[in-house]
A and B are shown apart, each in its own frame.
Chain A
């Protein structure tokens, strides 16, 4: 529990800042050395595996077996990346994009409408739907994979990308409705009221008023769902089979068997499959982080 002491103190530094802002108190507290130290230690723990994956993916086979595993490659090579790209990686990438967009866009659209109805509407149907969604948060939905497999095979959807999309939409709904409705509740009633007096329909209000006001939340929930679907492994594992229907996480698993001892190539596939999300994170980090911190603290 040494960490408790370390970062226990770190709270104080935040306090010190506030104290400074207030311009009073018993002077500035000393910098929080222990808290800072703990923070750097955690950074090492986080970064070391990432560093290892990246440098290893740039080594050739003999470099991998011959050199220190944590030393950077002496002659970096992109050959592993070529190996991965030649092993139908592009196909898997496209499949992942199709499944992710195909799931996230409808999921966010139907969740937004539902959240709007939950916040603005009344009546038994809306109330029971809301309860059902909340219940969905408490149930490990993975427990339902066997009936889902049954339904997908009976519907002749087995081994199609649609088989991955349909349940992914359903599983994204509870958390999306929850977070979107938390944000929609903050839209002042008077705004709806004045639009209503102008004779606008509910649909217009949703589209013209609510959507622009909670756009950050919509983007957050879209990214959050995209992360989940992009990285999903269980549905692809049980609902697809042929290589041409493979999505990226499943392809990583398959590469393991295919490349066996060629660890650098497997790790190059790991890097390539993560790259799109790193780009997304770089572009929309603020949006995602602020939305998530707010969304779960309401």
Chain B
């Protein structure tokens, strides 16, 4: 870092004539980020070629860990589960948060009040959300018997056919509020004159929505979807507490599979290989979604990620 810091006195000597701040201002953030994000990122690649149980010595293992990770049928299953959660989450969350964003952007007083309450799930930790839903979904003491609807008194978290959709619902419950906010901001940036013009032309609500609101929200949709897709690669705590990946492997998605392989099965090498896969998928998806935003806006779309 000394080379980076050196220019400082020189810049100062030239004083006010120098345009712009010197590079040292970026150094503290850079040091933190390099030490605890970039170095670990390289480290995960390195560790994927080693054997390590988390305590003892690290030994070179070549491709052994990769072989373990890739030939494990649980890994393939985890990839499928991750993909399912990602796709269904998008399908559920995009329409709901878009519509709620449009709804809350309207100026009516009751909508402003509702918007305040919509935000509440954002205040809860994933641990709290998971514990609350675990109790709520209990077939004997939860919502089902409470409402007196037998159909709701299912073994929601124990049934492998249902559990994935329960998880997708709880994820939506937790994250739709955040995306609603993003859409609300996007809608409020649409110039009112567009709607005035449309109304003079006699366009109804539906026409206004599909011909003005939706096209104008294109970049908001891409920003929000990018966050959702990348977010679905990070759902860990919620599912860990809610289902621990079960029943069986029904909800064991990639980040959870990585954690359990590393910290429960003590195979840090294979877990690192899974970490690398996670990084590659994340980068790939971010690039694809950024492309969808078009070349001109590409810079700001990546920023949205």
**Chain A residues in the interface with B (C-beta under 8 A):** 1, 3-15, 17-19, 21-22, 24-26, 29, 32, 35-36, 38-40, 42-43, 45-50, 52-53, 56, 64-65, 68-71, 106-107, 109-111, 113-114, 116-118, 120-123, 125-126, 129, 132-134, 136-151, 166-167, 169-171, 173-174, 177-178, 182, 196-197, 199-203, 206, 227, 230-234, 237-238, 248-250, 252-253, 256, 263, 266-267, 270, 273-274, 277-278, 281, 285, 289, 292-294, 296-298
B116 touching A285 by the CB < 8 A rule? yes
A143 touching B44 by the CB < 8 A rule? yes
The interface residues of chain A lying within 8 Å CB-to-CB of B89 are none
A111→B28 CA distance, assembly (Å):
8
A9 touching B36 by the CB < 8 A rule? no
Partner of B22, one of A4, A26, A121, A133: A121
The interface residues of chain A lying within 8 Å CB-to-CB of B305 are 134, 137-138
Query: CB-nearest residue of chain B relative to A69?
Result: B146
A133 touching B205 by the CB < 8 A rule? no
A137→B289 CA distance, assembly (Å):
13
Partner of A138, one of B116, B220, B230, B236: B230
Q: Chain A interface secondary structure, helix, strand, loop or mixed?
A: helix
Residues 95 to 153 of chain B near chain A (Cβ within 8 Å): 95-96, 99-100, 102-108, 110-111, 114-128, 131-133, 135-136, 141-143, 145-147
B143 touching A52 by the CB < 8 A rule? yes
B interface residue count range (under 10 / 10 to 19 / 20 to 34 / 35 or more): 35 or more
Query: CB-nearest residue of chain A relative to B281?
Result: A140
Partner of A70, one of B26, B96, B146, B199: B146
Query: CB-nearest residue of chain A relative to B54?
Result: A149
Query: CB-nearest residue of chain B relative to A32?
Result: B205
A39 touching B29 by the CB < 8 A rule? no
Residues 155 to 178 of chain B near chain A (Cβ within 8 Å): 173, 177-178
Whether, in the assembled complex, B4 has its beta carbon less than 8 Å from a beta carbon of chain A, the answer is: yes
The interface residues of chain A lying within 8 Å CB-to-CB of B26 are 113-114, 117-118, 121, 125-126, 129
A206→B25 CA distance, assembly (Å):
10
Residues 8 to 38 of chain B near chain A (Cβ within 8 Å): 12, 15-16, 19-23, 25-26, 28-30, 32-38
Query: CB-nearest residue of chain B relative to A277?
Result: B123
What is the distance, in angstroms, from A79's C-beta to the closest C-beta of chain B?
18
Whether, in the assembled complex, B268 has its beta carbon less than 8 Å from a beta carbon of chain A, the answer is: yes
Query: CB-nearest residue of chain A relative to B272?
Result: A146
What is the distance, in angstroms, from B223's C-beta to the closest C-beta of chain A?
6
A15 touching B47 by the CB < 8 A rule? no
Query: CB-nearest residue of chain A relative to B128?
Result: A270
Partner of A9, one of B39, B141, B185, B206: B206
What is the distance, in angstroms, from B194's C-beta to the closest C-beta of chain A?
9
B234 touching A144 by the CB < 8 A rule? no
